[in-house]
């Protein structure tokens, strides 16, 4: 089976592992399943996940990790090849993923500083300053989670998008779960830019299918034949429905049992697991009932 596995809220929550899940995934890999990690987190370079997952005992190689940062880079290369100069609001991992595929990366923080210096002391209403030029004349603006977000970064992104740059969101998750609480996610930043520009971005991460399709491509499989394992109804499970895949909802992250029970049957996951033992049993059941062949 192809297992498309979320990370935050499934394998770990913040710095804490979810007990037993890594061992379940290692067992499935040993039995021949393809395990690919698919995370909406855009902060890190994909290699950064390898030592952490290895330390947990999870089966992992760098080519089995697809973050929303990686999927965004691949989307630009495969589907929008004319977009080459990219203004980035996000963490170093996102910038590195974009540079890895040959894109020219423009740092929003650096351009925001230039904008501030160029307009300091200038009266409002017609400065003569070419703000799009200061923004680097990007073809696109990519917005992800940025823990050093400033007003200046929001301003330079707004300037570029209003001037015609394509608006791309790595994902629209409103919150980021940690081991202690929930903090603002990339979607909160995307929403601010959307409000300022009145432009709806294309979003790459779950629930959009693009990230799962890129993940399946890593192992030469069809995303619709996979099993999505995640903790978010509005992200993981919605993405599974979008591509026609089966799903397991883990109650170890952002979703409660009460919310699942309140859903109409058409929106429920195929399986619900409260812990690693439940996950192992759910995967056994799904393995016994494979999806029908394509076209049937």
Catalytic annotation present for 146: no
Which residues make Cβ contacts (< 8 Å) with residue 273, sequence separation at least 6? 248, 249, 250, 251, 279, 281, 282
- Closest listed residue to residue 227, CA positions, set 3, 73, 9: 3
Which residues make Cβ contacts (< 8 Å) with residue 115, sequence separation at least 6? 131, 134, 135, 152, 155, 156, 159
CB 65 within 8 A of CB 11: no
DSSP run (H or E) holding 93: helix 92-100
Angle, vertex CA 210, rays to CA 283 and CA 185, nearest 5: 85
CB 173 within 8 A of CB 38: no
Instruction: For residue 8, give both structure tokens.
Output: 């935050």
Could you tell me how many residues make up the chain? 296
Catalytic annotation present for 6: yes
State whether residue 206 is helix, strand or coil.
coil
Active site members: 6, 8
């Amino acid at each position: 089976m192809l297992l498309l596995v979320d990370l935050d809220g499934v394998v770990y929550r913040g710095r804490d592992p979810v007990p037993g899940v890594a061992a379940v995934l290692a067992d499935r890999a040993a039995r021949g399943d393809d395990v690919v990690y698919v995370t909406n987190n855009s902060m890190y370079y994909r290699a950064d996940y390898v030592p952490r997952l290895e330390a947990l005992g999870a089966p992992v190689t760098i080519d089995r990790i697809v973050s929303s940062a990686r999927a965004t880079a691949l989307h630009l290369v495969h589907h929008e090849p004319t977009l080459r100069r990219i203004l980035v609001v996000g963490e170093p991992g996102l910038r590195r993923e974009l540079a890895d595929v040959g894109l020219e990366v423009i740092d929003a923080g650096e351009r925001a500083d230039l904008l501030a210096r160029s307009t300091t002391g200038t009266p409002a209403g017609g400065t003569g300053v070419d703000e799009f030029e200061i923004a680097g004349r990007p073809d696109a603006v990519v917005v992800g989670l940025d823990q050093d977000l400033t007003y200046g970064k929001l301003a330079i992104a707004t300037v570029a998008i209003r001037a015609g740059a394509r608006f791309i969101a790595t994902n629209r998750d409103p919150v980021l779960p940690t081991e202690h609480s929930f903090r603002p996610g990339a979607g909160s930043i995307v929403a601010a830019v959307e409000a300022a520009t009145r432009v709806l971005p294309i979003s790459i991460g779950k629930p959009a299918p693009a990230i799962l399709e890129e993940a399946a491509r890593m192992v030469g499989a069809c995303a619709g034949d996979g099993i999505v394992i995640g903790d978010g109804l509005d992200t993981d499970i919605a993405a599974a429905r979008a591509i026609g895949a089966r799903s397991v909802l883990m109650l170890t992250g952002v979703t409660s049992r009460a919310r699942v029970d309140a859903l109409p049957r058409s929106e429920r996951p195929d399986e619900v697991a409260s812990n690693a033992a439940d996950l192992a049993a759910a995967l056994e059941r799904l393995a016994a009932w494979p999806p029908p062949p394509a076209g049937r």
